[in-house]
Structure 1
Amino acid sequence: MTTFYLVRHGETMWNKEQRLQGWLDSPLSENGILHAEKLRDHLKNFSFTAAYSSSSGRAKETLHILLGDRQLPIYYEDNLREIFLGDWQGKTVGDIVTTHPDYELYTDYPGQFVATHTESFGTVTERAMFTLKKIAEKYPENNVLIVSHAVTIKCIINAILGRNIDQLWAAPFINGTSVTLIEKVEQRWLVKDIGNIQHLQ
């Protein structure tokens, strides 16, 4: 059995500004760093065989905090990056809402959202699940730590649960440094926990 500890990166400066990042980047905020340190302490008695991160700077920064002085194989994967958001990237939600009426479909009716200038949810799902399967083949009996992004994690959850894309944003919310627990048992994928923030309480 492979157990994935799937962590969303810590809060960033652009998260605070409600500015969409996608494949762009911004550094962790003070809270983002603090929350990652709290999760590092929470995970200190957990054993991991390998660590993976999205190739985005905010995810790599989070992973390095989580690992502390652990000596693990570390891998950076483009396929674990956030959804590509085209010309929405770097803009605030307020600016996007006034110029892109399809943003409401993206946030409220994902099943009706047609990706013309962004990556589709289906493409995110395919690349993320491809990577998880590859990791499970490499580490079939191990715990693996992964740092990724909110939409990517939501797509993974939705795929494993076999849900319609309209349910993509179903609660709980994927907060910064939250932990989602995924298991690969032989040919079965299981979601054991979603968006756990016990370390922040």
Structure 2
Amino acid sequence: MELYLIRHGETDYNKERKIQGSCDIPLNEYGRELARETAEGLKDIPFDVIFTSPLCRARETAEWIARGRQIPVYEDKRLQEICFGEYEGLCCGRKGYNIPDGGAFFDTFFFDTENYQTPPGGESFEDVISRTGAFLTELLQKKEYQDKTVLLSTHGCALKAILANIYHTPVAEFWGEGVHKNCAVTHLSVKGTEFQMIEEGKIYYTPRK
């Protein structure tokens, strides 16, 4: 199996540093531009099937890549972004920060993941690793996909959780080199249960300065 992972394009919440999580926020115009350019960059990759988070920002990103091809696109909730519960819609940027926790959310979520405190009604890192891991295990067990080229359209934290399952990354090291850019693409080659990283976080567009 050739396995590709993509983070969705930009949304207004990304731009405004608002917490998205399970909020169903659409791509903005720049996000659509990124998806179009990424689709062009991937046009020669012979995808056989696409699995996507049902959240519209990931679904639309997947649809841009599938456009003009006869590729089935399937939704799976296990590819959704981590849920932040009561904190969704609040600002986590240094300017405009309005999460009622004295700044602990931002610092622990990105820089001290071992001590991250799950917001009321939200998910933990372990929760997201567990459900994305269940999806990945199921995908790898399906014989019809073992020699196929598969794309997963997902989100920043969910994508890292998939990689955490593959590399058995401890929560303390969850982010590694950091969250992937919008529409960044990661390619792995899979033989049985063995994974080879071909390329991680590749972008097919020139980022705005």
- Regarding TM over 0.5, the answer is yes
The equivalent of 2:44 in structure 1 is 45
Whole-Å separation in 2 of the counterparts to 1:38 and 1:116: 36
Say if 1:173 and 1:58 are closer, same or farther in 2 by CA, change over 3 A. Answer: same
The equivalent of 2:205 in structure 1 is 200
| TM-score computed with the length of structure 1 as normaliser | 0.92
Which SS does the other structure have where 2:181 is aligned? coil
Whole-Å separation in 1 of the counterparts to 2:179 and 2:11: 17
Query: How far off is 1:173 after superposition?
Result: 3.4
The equivalent of 1:70 in structure 2 is 69
- Tell me the matched-pair count: 199
The equivalent of 2:24 in structure 1 is 25
Query: How far off is 1:6 after superposition?
Result: 0.4
1:143 aligns with 2:149: yes
- Conserved? CA contact 1:161–1:191, under 8 Å: no
1:34 aligns with 2:33: yes
Superposition pairs of residues 110-121 of structure 1, within 5 angstroms: 110-115=113-118, 117=120, 118-121=122-125
- Conserved? CA contact 1:21–1:90, under 8 Å: yes
**In percent, how many aligned pairs have the same letter?**
28
Which SS does the other structure have where 1:189 is aligned? strand
- Conserved? CA contact 2:87–2:119, under 8 Å: no
1:183 aligns with 2:184: no
Whole-Å separation in 2 of the counterparts to 1:119 and 1:127: 11
Which SS does the other structure have where 1:153 is aligned? helix
Query: How far off is 1:81 after superposition?
Result: 0.1
Say if 1:146 and 1:98 are closer, same or farther in 2 by CA, change over 3 A. Answer: closer
Query: How far off is 1:48 after superposition?
Result: 1.1
Which blocks of at least 5 consecutive residues in structure 2 are unaligned? none
Which SS does the other structure have where 2:71 is aligned? coil
| TM-score computed with the length of structure 2 as normaliser | 0.88
Whole-Å separation in 2 of the counterparts to 1:57 and 1:191: 28
- Conserved? CA contact 1:62–1:147, under 8 Å: yes
- Conserved? CA contact 2:188–2:196, under 8 Å: yes
Query: How far off is 1:184 after superposition?
Result: 2.5
Counterpart code for 1:77: D
Instruction: Answer with 22-31 or 160-169: which moved more.
Output: 160-169
Whole-Å separation in 2 of the counterparts to 1:8 and 1:194: 11
Deviations 1:10-43 (A, max 9, x none): 0011111111110002221111111111111111
The equivalent of 2:100 in structure 1 is 99
The equivalent of 1:84 in structure 2 is 83
Query: How far off is 1:147 after superposition?
Result: 0.4
- Conserved? CA contact 2:22–2:81, under 8 Å: yes
Which blocks of at least 5 consecutive residues in structure 1 are unaligned? none
- Name the structure where helix makes up a greater proportion of residues: 1
- Conserved? CA contact 2:128–2:158, under 8 Å: yes
- Conserved? CA contact 1:14–1:26, under 8 Å: yes
- Conserved? CA contact 1:10–1:62, under 8 Å: yes
Deviations 1:158-199 (A, max 9, x none): 2322222111122153011000123331122333322111x1
Aligned-residue CA RMSD in angstroms?
Answer: 1.7
Deviations 1:129-148 (A, max 9, x none): 21122222231111001100
